[in-house]
Structure 1
Amino acid sequence: MARITERHALLSETPSTQRVVIMHRYGAGTNGKIAYVQACLHADETPAMACTHHLLQRLEEADQQGLLKGEIVVVPFANPIGLDQFEDDMLLGRVHRGGDGNFNRGWYDLTAMTQNRLVGKLGKDEEDNVKLIRTVMQDALAEITPTSEFASLRKILAKEAARADYVFDLHCDDESLPYLYISDLNWPDCKDFAADFGARAIMMAENSGGGSFDEVYTRPWAELSRLFPDAAIPQATMSMTVEHRGRPDVSDEIAAKDADALYKFFVRRGLIEGDAGPLPTPLCEATGTDACEIIPSPGAGFVTYCKELGEIVKKGDQIATLIDPATEDPTQSRTPIYAGTDGIFFTRRQHKAVKPGLVVGKVAGNKPLKAGYLLED
């Protein structure tokens, strides 16, 4: 089956303008499995887009060689709205300028949208229940009538991802090591991808509180299983947020390596015929998202760092210094910033100017630190 490229139009909000989402669809799904990969829901996170570029090259080759056994859908840029958010020469693209907030927050609650439709219809056969639940999800999403460009984008992406067995939402951080956000419902099933990807931190939670894109597709299976305890409902979707290092980490070499990790995952799951080779040694174990310390700046100024990414820190270790250039006494202008937990120092700021509360670093530990909302906005 040759590639099918689709152009899905967003709702136009101004005369003579219309953005589109481009989807590349590979494979006929002969093994019944579907994978969905999207890049740059946060439109300024270019390493993700570089990865999909190289993944598409690999899928073209696999398609020509007749190796595709499942269906793989790739969205090389998932947010054409954000891609238009240039300020002078800098692309922003994380927050919707129309007031709808972070592009990766507040996505649909598919459990709430489907549970009443499933009453009295679920049985003891897992495969039948999965098919039914996915059909009901599609029906519920199809009934949404978008009233804005952003709402139409949400509907297009969610309808496609809700079909899939495997959902990869590709992002990056500011200055960072490669890491993952996953559901604990998918661990250790996704341990092979984490090893191939070279993840240096893996944060897991069933519900991180922010309604992020990846959790839309993992949570309903567990939640519906609890709502319908007499029905056989498996954890039918593996979904994750993949953080491709930091914004400056854009190169053919890095992107090809990351695309290879996705390609090998598809081989291991039977969507592509081939040999994925031996798994590399994992570089870390998964820890709770609630154990990830998000360290804010205590004031305004600029930061310098005394710890490198990848260093193992202890609670109380100094990781950075806040310097306030407006302090009248220059000998009192330096404020140390400390780690509040033991773990790996895995992300920090690329641009060193800060204001109070701005995130200056993250440490992935293994002791719970918080509850409720677990994400950085």
Structure 2
Amino acid sequence: MTRITERHALLSETPSTQRVVTMHRYGAGTDGKVAYVQACLHADETPAMACTHHLLQRLEDADQQGLIKGEIVVVPFANPIGLDQFEDDILLGRVHRGGEGNFNRGWYDLTAMMKDRLVGKLGTDADSNVQLIRATMQGVLDEVTPTSEFESLRKILTKEAARADYVFDLHCDDESLPYLYISDLNWPDCQDFAADFGAAAVMMAENSGGGSFDEVYTRPWAELSRLFPDATIPQATMSMTVEHRGRPDVSDEIGAKDADALYKFFVRRGLIKGDAGPLSAPLCDATGTDACEIIPSPGAGFVTYCRELGDMVKKGDQIATLIDPAAEDPTQSRTPIYAGTDGIFFTRRQHKAVKPGLVVGKVAGKEPLKSGYLLED
């Protein structure tokens, strides 16, 4: 067996307490590609944890049979800080309650951290440049001195993921079909995973504006290519955010299905010896993240839906109704909510009570709708 289980301690912020990040490493020291998988950076998104649970069962079997040919690192829960944020019986794991914001925003800009150190060092040999850039990433991250528990978590996860050729950050939405966020630099290279995963939408952006975890590892290659046009710099990392349906979608059956998609990807990329079988038929093509409509509630109250997830809608189609229970005239208490673009209606709210501005749904379209910051907070 090749598995090594590591426990990385976070900076302790209170006496006699310390959280750890657990990593399972398969195939360390092999000459093959490296894959990194983490679940629940947003700690309340449990379907991602169900996937890593079943993935680990498959990797254990493959390891015992000597089938692992690359290195695969799995972090079954990436955010022990968020996992401790219970309010009564509700886990609030999306935002750091100590004031450091959304756990999946504001991650490192590795290009800015390392570009000056690469001046005069990059040449025309692509493999040498990849090795140099990855070593430089490790060097600048080594110099980071965390001053908070969350910052120590950032450093641990980023140093590990920055080594990888393939980075999977596993999440989920509220009530949703499965979908992906990727860099347009990785399409159509990741089309096989999108098909096996059953993605109903695949949204692309090189830089969505929020500093999300997956973009830490895709952006530098393109950005450095533009900064050093005479150097040969390939797109050496495929990274994506994988959205595992909605928060209630936790079962052994679903977790096993999603783990199978990852396992097949590793087989197709040569990290695991085996036969991935025939490729699934894709359910969608990729579209721009800038074409995804994030539909806010126009007021306070609760919402009801007149469209099902997976419905194809047109601009102007009603998808929901906002109902104001405090309306002075009950006959004037209903406000229709419309789609603002053509596309697939693929997420909506699980909890139907809303206040102004809360997201009530998303439609993945094809026509650009916005620029700059493209994400939902």
TM-score range, shorter chain: over 0.9
CA distance, structure 1, for counterparts of residue 367 and residue 214 of structure 2 = 24
Q: Which residue does 2:276 correspond to in 1?
A: 276
What residue ranges of structure 1 are gaps of 5+ in the alignment? none
Match of 1:142 in 2: 142
Secondary structure of 2:219 counterpart? helix
Contact 1:312 1:344 in 2 (8 A): yes
Whole-angstrom distance in 1 between the partners of 2:5 and 2:320: 47
- 1:39-78 aligned within 5 A: 39-78=39-78
**1:164-204 alpha-carbon deviations (Å, 9 max, x no partner):** 00000000000000000000000000000000000000000
- Within 5 Å, give how 1:327-342 maps onto structure 2: 327-342=327-342
Show CA shifts across 1:293-335 (max 9, x none). 0000000000000000000000000000000000010000000
CA separation in 2, counterparts of 1:308 and 1:83? 31
Cα distance, 1:30 vs structure 2: 2.8
Percent identity over the alignment is: 89
In the TM superposition, 1:105-124 aligns within 5 A as 105-124=105-124
> How far, CA to CA, are the matches of 1:357 and 1:41 in structure 2?
24
**Structure 2 gap ranges (5+):** none
Q: What's the RMSD between the two structures over aligned residues?
A: 0.5
Q: In the TM superposition, what is the alpha-carbon distance from 1:102 to its structure 2 partner?
A: 0.2
* CA offsets 1:29-80 (integer angstroms, 9 cap, x no match): 5343100000000000000000000000000000000000000000000000
- Kindly provide the amino acid, as one letter, of the partner of residue 329 in structure 1: D
* Partner AA of 1:83 in structure 2: L
- In 2, the alpha carbon distance for the partners of 1:294 and 1:241 equals 17
In the superposition, the TM-score normalised over structure 2's length comes to: 1.00
Deviation (angstroms), 1:228: 0.3
Q: 1:270 and 1:342 mapped to 2: Cα distance?
A: 39
Where does residue 220 of structure 1 map in the other structure?
220
Q: Which residue of 2 is the match for residue 30 of structure 1?
A: 30
Mapping of residues 198-213 of structure 1, within 5 Å: 198-213=198-213
Retained in 1: the 8 A contact 2:2–2:28?
Answer: no
Structure 1 position 261 matched with structure 2 position 261 = yes
Residue 55 of structure 2 aligns to which amino acid in structure 1? L
Confirm or deny: 8 A CA contact 2:36 2:74 kept in the other structure. yes
Using the size of structure 1 for normalisation, the TM-score is 1.00
Find the residue that maps to 1:170 and give its secondary structure: strand
Determine helix, strand or coil for the equivalent of 2:77.
coil
AA of the residue aligned to 2:295: I
SS in 2 for 1:299: coil
Deviation at 1:98, TM superposition (A): 1.0
SS at match of 1:59: helix
Letter matched to residue 108 of structure 1: Y
Q: Deviations over 1:327-357 (max 9, x none)?
A: 0100000000000000000000000000000
What is the CA–CA distance in structure 1 between the aligned matches of 2:229 and 2:367, rounded to whole Å? 31
- Identify the range of structure 1 (29-38 vs 347-356) with the bigger mean alpha-carbon deviation: 29-38
SS in 2 for 1:202: strand
Counterpart residue number, 1:241? 241
Query: SS at 1:169's partner residue?
Result: strand
- Decide whether the 8 Å contact of 1:31 with 1:271 is kept in 2: no
Amino acid at match of 1:143: E
- Offset of residue 2 of structure 1: 2.0
Kindly indicate whether the alpha-carbon contact (under 8 Å) linking 2:81 and 2:150 is maintained by their aligned counterparts in 1.
yes
Using the alignment, how far apart are the partners of 2:304 and 2:254 within structure 1? 27
2:346 and 2:335 mapped to 1: Cα distance?
A: 21
**1:183 paired residue number:** 183
Question: What SS does the aligned partner of 2:335 have?
Answer: strand
Confirm or deny: 8 A CA contact 1:29 1:69 kept in the other structure: no
Q: Which residue of 2 aligns with 1:365?
A: 365
Between the aligned partners of 1:60 and 1:103, the Cα distance in structure 2 is: 30
Match of 1:347 in 2: 347
Contact in 1 for aligned 2:203/2:286 (Cα 8 Å)? yes
Matched residue, 1:90: 90
Partner of 1:308: 308
Cα distance between partner residues in 1 of 2:363 and 2:53: 31
CA distance in structure 2 between the partners assigned to 1:200 and 1:31 by the alignment: 35
Following TM superposition, where does structure 1 have runs of at least 4 consecutive aligned residues deviating by more than 3 angstroms? Answer: none
CA distance in 1, matches of 2:124, 2:308: 52
Question: Any conservation in 2 of the 1:199–1:283 contact (CA below 8 Å)?
Answer: yes
CA displacement at 1:280 relative to structure 2: 1.0
Q: What secondary structure does 1:122 align onto?
A: coil
Where does residue 15 of structure 1 map in the other structure? 15
CA distance in 1, matches of 2:16, 2:342: 55
SS class of match (2:22):
strand
**Counterpart Cα distance in 2 of 1:32 and 1:139:** 22
1:206 and 1:261 mapped to 2: Cα distance? 24
Partner of 2:321: 321
Note if contact 1:138-1:162 (Cα within 8 Å) is conserved in structure 2: yes
